[in-house]
Chain A
Amino acid sequence: MVDLATKSLLHDKLRFIITVSGVAFAVTLVFVQVGLFLGLLDNASVTIDHISADLWVTSRNTPNVDFAHTFPDTAVKRVRSVPGVAQADNLIVWFVTVNLPSGAQEGSLVYALDDFRNWNIPWNVESGDLGDLKRGQYFFLDDSAVKRYGQFAVGEYREILGQRMKIIGRTKDARSFTTTPISFIDFDRAQTLNPQSLQGKTTYVLVKLAPGADVNAVKAEITRRLPYNDVYTKKEWATRSRGYWVKSTGIGLNMYITVFLGCLVGIVVVAQTLYTSTMEHIKEFGTVKAIGGGNLDIYRILGKQASIAAVAGFLLGALMSYAMRPVIAKIDLKLIITPAFAAIVFAGSIAMCLGAAMISFRKVASIDPALVFRG
């Protein structure tokens, strides 16, 4: 069967390139904007995702993992007594100020646990032994701190809340949504760093379930025993933490607007080029009708052309987006393009182009085949 749609589309190469570029632009815009958004959101829950806790006990109405509130650290004992709990430990997440050698002050988000090795945090240790944290005024610092603190090395000292502490290890990939560098300190040491706020307090209780335990039943029982706390599954807590930033900062709205604008640009470019092409080929479509074809035959041609433009534009846009990932990584941002996200963008590209072709459909329906007799 002769493929008039493809041949006609590729016959005018410049127009084809313009159409594909329009789609590719829209696809790249969506990939980059949403990919960066997903990257930022990933930072908002990256510690939750990695910490090997099935349940998180928080103080009432804690909005996200970074903005923790305190409650008595004895709550952990009540959690440990709940049937189905294999392990429960206190976790402090607390914002502290760090004095730098330059004299500047910066912030750090401290994660404090009795034994980090039980909870898979930090999950990417570049140097140092986490077991040494208990031995003195020591802490681990994530590599991402370089951007705000400047270069640092294991063995150097920094002043945290006025106390001189030694860096004994480096970690990687531990980020917060606000880009505040994360440091890791022994739980007891963290309580003494800020006794007024943290003595006898914790901000979270991490819970690991016994094999075969029913997560909902354990969650309900902890909630019953700790009525002034909230209990979340890992997934719920990650969703809540991410959702806070989406709703409260306007970042979500910003993303939706950009995605909308990207799609709008794509639709306008594709619709305009397809419509112009339809007008230029109107006599050909009239010929199709004159030789016995119907509107459906022409809709198929336009639909196929729109789909080809969508696929080519998607591939080009995806390629450009993937090519931008290393560049974006250099400025410490993550561009996350998951297969599911790519599939949605692909389906969106097809829908966008077919939607744009609808404008031409209306024109085609009104073509009078008698125009083939006009000179």
Chain B
Amino acid sequence: MTVLEARTITKEFREGRGEAVSVLKGVSLDVHRGEIVALEGPSGSGKTTLLSILGCILTPSSGTVVVDGEEVDLGRPGRLPAIRRKSIGFVFQQFNLFPSLTALENVEYALNVKGQKGAGARREAERVIDAVGLSDRRSFLPRDLSGGQKQRVAIARALAGTAPILLADEPTANLDSHIGGQVLEMFRALAKKEDRALLIVTHDPKVRTVSDRVLQIRDGLIAADGLAA
């Protein structure tokens, strides 16, 4: 079942002198429930822009994005936060944890923002923190966690709730190879177990090993779409 669909997405930015720069030139893709997709490409190829559009953070210049059955209305950018709350979980390269909140609170706060509050949010936060293997680090602040542990908290935050789409931006870029591999394995297992679609933007060749499919983007276009080796 398709949960994320993009049709002929284009995106142009204006440079300082007013010149239009075309970053995406007609990208189309589908991602299904329970599917792990790697999005690869060189720097400047438009990976992060595409991720921002698929994550309803940016609106495309043209084209259609359908998230969990809802077509994103380009004329109503005010609707985007609601779609993010309901359908999308993010994992960032820099973890982006709140430094003043404990591991558990970081996850619980994300649930609060999504509208889940009280004991239910606390139970759900505990569930995902346990699922990423950080039961004994629940009350630790981010500064007291290793890089791998921080990324696990970030994954737990993305998993918390029922968002069917998980978008990860270079999740292993700030981790050493061994830890990065462990985090990817765990992420894959959890996404599969919970039947979530996972799209990973990456330079890391290890991501291929955990993916079902690999998309390659070059110069704003999907250059290759095939099963992972």
Q: B114–A7 contact, CB under 8 A?
A: no
Per-position 1/0 for B87-101, Cβ under 8 A of A: 010101110101111
B214: chain A residues at CB < 8 Å are none
Residue of A nearest to B109 (CB): A2
**Closest CB pairs A-B (n = 5):** A292-B85, A11-B100, A2-B109, A292-B84, A7-B100
A8: chain B residues at CB < 8 Å are 98, 100
Residue of B nearest to A295 (CB): B81
Q: Is B16 an interface residue (CB 8 A)?
A: no
Q: Which of B57, B88, B108, B114 is in CB contact (< 8 Å) with A370?
A: B57
Q: A372–B101 contact, CB under 8 A?
A: no
Give the interface segment out of A31-39, A200-208, A283-291. Answer: A283-291
Q: Which of B48, B99, B109, B113 is in CB contact (< 8 Å) with A373?
A: B48
Q: A369–B57 contact, CB under 8 A?
A: yes
Q: Is B51 an interface residue (CB 8 A)?
A: yes
Query: How far does the Cβ of B169 sit from chain A's closest Cβ, in whole Å?
Result: 5
From 201 to 225 in chain B, residues with beta carbon under 8 angstroms from any chain A beta carbon are none
Q: A291–B100 contact, CB under 8 A?
A: no
Q: Is B32 an interface residue (CB 8 A)?
A: no
Query: How far does the Cβ of A294 sit from chain B's closest Cβ, in whole Å?
Result: 5
Q: Return 6 A-B CB contacts under 8 Å, by A number.
A: A1-B112, A7-B101, A370-B57, A372-B57, A372-B92, A372-B96
A283: chain B residues at CB < 8 Å are 94, 96
A2: chain B residues at CB < 8 Å are 101, 105, 108-109, 112
Q: List 15 extra interface pairs beyond A294-B81, A370-B57, CB under 8 A.
A: A2-B101, A2-B109, A7-B101, A7-B105, A284-B99, A287-B96, A290-B90, A291-B90, A291-B114, A291-B157, A292-B82, A292-B88, A292-B114, A372-B94, A372-B96
From 287 to 344 in chain A, residues with beta carbon under 8 angstroms from any chain B beta carbon are 287-294, 297
Q: A4–B100 contact, CB under 8 A?
A: yes
Q: Which residues of A pack against B, CB within 8 Å?
A: 1-2, 4, 7-8, 10-11, 283-284, 286-294, 297, 369-370, 372-373, 375
Q: Which of A287, A297, A375 is in CB contact (< 8 Å) with B93?
A: A375
Q: Is B110 an interface residue (CB 8 A)?
A: yes
Residue of B nearest to A11 (CB): B100
Identify which of A291, A294, A297 gathers the most chain B CB atoms within 10 Å of its CB: A291
Q: Is B58 an interface residue (CB 8 A)?
A: yes
Q: Which of B57, B86, B105, B113 is in CB contact (< 8 Å) with A288?
A: B113
Q: Is B52 an interface residue (CB 8 A)?
A: yes
Q: A290–B98 contact, CB under 8 A?
A: no
In whole angstroms, how far apart are the Cα atoms of A369 and B48 in the complex? 13
Query: How far does the Cβ of B67 sit from chain A's closest Cβ, in whole Å?
Result: 12
Residue of A nearest to B55 (CB): A290
B55: chain A residues at CB < 8 Å are 290
Query: How far does the Cβ of A295 sit from chain B's closest Cβ, in whole Å?
Result: 9
In whole angstroms, how far apart are the Cα atoms of A284 and B82 in the complex? 19
Identify which of A286, A290, A293, A294 gathers the most chain B CB atoms within 10 Å of its CB: A290
Q: Is B226 an interface residue (CB 8 A)?
A: no
A284: chain B residues at CB < 8 Å are 96, 98-99
In whole angstroms, how far apart are the Cα atoms of A294 and B110 in the complex? 13
Q: Which of B81, B98, B157 is in CB contact (< 8 Å) with A289?
A: B81
Q: B101–A373 contact, CB under 8 A?
A: no
Q: Which of B93, B108, B113, B118 is in CB contact (< 8 Å) with A292?
A: B113
B57: chain A residues at CB < 8 Å are 290, 369-370, 372
Residue of A nearest to B98 (CB): A284
Q: Is B7 an interface residue (CB 8 A)?
A: no
Residue of A nearest to B92 (CB): A372
Q: A293–B113 contact, CB under 8 A?
A: yes
Q: Which of B90, B109, B118 is in CB contact (< 8 Å) with A4?
A: B109
Q: A1–B117 contact, CB under 8 A?
A: yes
Knowing A2-B105, A291-B157, say if A375 contacts B110 (CB, 8 Å).
Answer: no
From 53 to 111 in chain B, residues with beta carbon under 8 angstroms from any chain A beta carbon are 55, 57-58, 81-82, 84-86, 88, 90, 92-94, 96, 98-101, 105, 108-110
In whole angstroms, how far apart are the Cα atoms of A375 and B203 in the complex? 14
In whole angstroms, how far apart are the Cα atoms of A252 and B58 in the complex? 56
Q: A373–B92 contact, CB under 8 A?
A: yes
Query: How far does the Cβ of A9 sit from chain B's closest Cβ, in whole Å?
Result: 8
A375: chain B residues at CB < 8 Å are 93-94
A286: chain B residues at CB < 8 Å are 96
B105: chain A residues at CB < 8 Å are 2, 7
B85: chain A residues at CB < 8 Å are 291-292
In whole angstroms, how far apart are the Cα atoms of A286 and B92 in the complex? 12
A289: chain B residues at CB < 8 Å are 81
A373: chain B residues at CB < 8 Å are 48, 51-52, 92-93, 169
A290: chain B residues at CB < 8 Å are 55, 57, 84, 90, 92, 96
In whole angstroms, how far apart are the Cα atoms of A316 and B82 in the complex? 41
B84: chain A residues at CB < 8 Å are 290-292
B118: chain A residues at CB < 8 Å are 1
Residue of B nearest to A288 (CB): B113
Residue of A nearest to B82 (CB): A292
In whole angstroms, how far apart are the Cα atoms of A375 and B93 in the complex? 7
Q: B96–A292 contact, CB under 8 A?
A: no
